[in-house]
Amino acid sequence: MSSGTWPAADERLVRHYRRLLLAYPGHYRRRHGTEMVTTMLEMAEPGRSRPSAGEAWHLIASGVRRRFRLPAGHPFGWAAAVLVTLVLGVFGAAAGSWLGQRTFAGLPPRADGLKLLNAAVTDPGGAFIHPVSWSGRADSLGFSVFPKAPRRGTPAWTVEEARAGLTAAGWTVTDFTIHPRPNSVTCVTDERFGPDGESCSFQSRDASLTAERDGLILSGTATDYHADESGDAFDGGVNGVLFAGRSGAYLPLIVAGGLLGALAGWLLTAALAYRIRSLPPGSGRLATAFTGTAVAVAAPPVWAVIVDAVMLGEHLTDAGPVYTLHAPFQPGPHIGGATTWFIPGCAITAVAAAAIAAGILVLGTGRRESPVATQPT
């Protein structure tokens, strides 16, 4: 558009109108932009240098509504818009989940993890810690820590000491429920352990235990520690899992990602639908075929994310590793028994098909509509 097509007006007003028309889709601006600006300049009173607030909001609102509008007479366009909106909404929620997990506390290295966990036992005799991968959940650390130097025939360590040790080390104990039952030791002669061999069975109290510190959550079971007459120890101590707690930003980021993804899906479908109309018939069908392939191949990842979202909702108040919506996109165990690379492979294939469709649309638009030059009357 050249300034020579405009009625005599302040150039600042022309620039403002041009900027406001950016709210409209490109294909609409190319066909009607000149006519719209010319009409508005003719209606503007002399000396005006910028649009009124009402005029500006009207243009922006009308442009945004136009961007959401699908081509008339194409019922399949509505179906495509709904499907693409669903897919990108789900993918956006998974992206929000990935960003949200970045706000979690980091799991400590093994050595630092052992230092944190040893606080549960005043005089630890040993500890084990190992990474754990849960289907659909964030990674965690499994652990077992136990005391040493048991006293013969009596509890060498009690579950109350676990709570006291964790509290002294700065942990906040949020759940400590003892399951009462008498501690007892029963020993019988067992020839499998030699002529004078003994086999002892122990019945010990245990307690469910949950504690928090610096964004980490310890969830497990504490058990009274026993020893038999020879001083050999039996089960006891604390065992469970250490994981990062869900941050306050996690759920809002999932919701924001889902909404932005859905919004982008609808706007993208509307824009591409108009662009497909300007393609040669062969290119248009090819772009449509790749778009359909992308949506179809994205179905398994979408379903997997939805399943994880349901599990997240059902376990919001549970003491356990957080269900993450982006977990299906990572190689590993998946809810439903899908193979390691099936869901990620489908997601990669869907993205590749969508990229090919986009390339056809960008490179194959050989018959773009030319701007309509409307002369002022």
* Amino acid 1: pLDDT: 45
pLDDT digits (tens, 9 = 90+) for 45-91: 777 778 888 888 988 888 888 888 877 666 677 888 889 999 999 99
Residues 285 and 338 in one domain: yes
Residues 143 and 216 in one domain: yes
Residues 322 and 359 in one domain: yes
> Of 187, 214, 244, which marks where a domain is finished?
244
Residues 38 and 84 in one domain: no
CA distances to 11, 14, 34, 50 from 42, rounded to whole Å, are 14, 11, 12, 14
Residues 373 and 272 in one domain: yes
pLDDT digits (tens, 9 = 90+) for 11-27: 888 888 888 888 888 77
> Of 244, 275, 294, which marks where a domain is finished?
244
* Amino acid 297: pLDDT: 93
Residues 194 and 156 in one domain: yes
Residues 166 and 279 in one domain: no
* Amino acid 372: pLDDT: 42
* Amino acid 371: pLDDT: 43
> Of 211, 227, 244, which marks where a domain is finished?
244
* Amino acid 189: pLDDT: 62
* Amino acid 241: pLDDT: 92
Residues 275 and 364 in one domain: yes
Q: How many domains does the chain have?
A: 3
The predicted model scores a pTM of 0.76
Domain that holds residue 50: 1-69
Residues 274 and 223 in one domain: no
Residues 239 and 252 in one domain: no
Residues 215 and 121 in one domain: yes
Residues of the chain scoring pLDDT < 50? 1-4, 6, 366-377
Residues 41 and 167 in one domain: no
Contact 17, 41 (CB under 8 A): yes
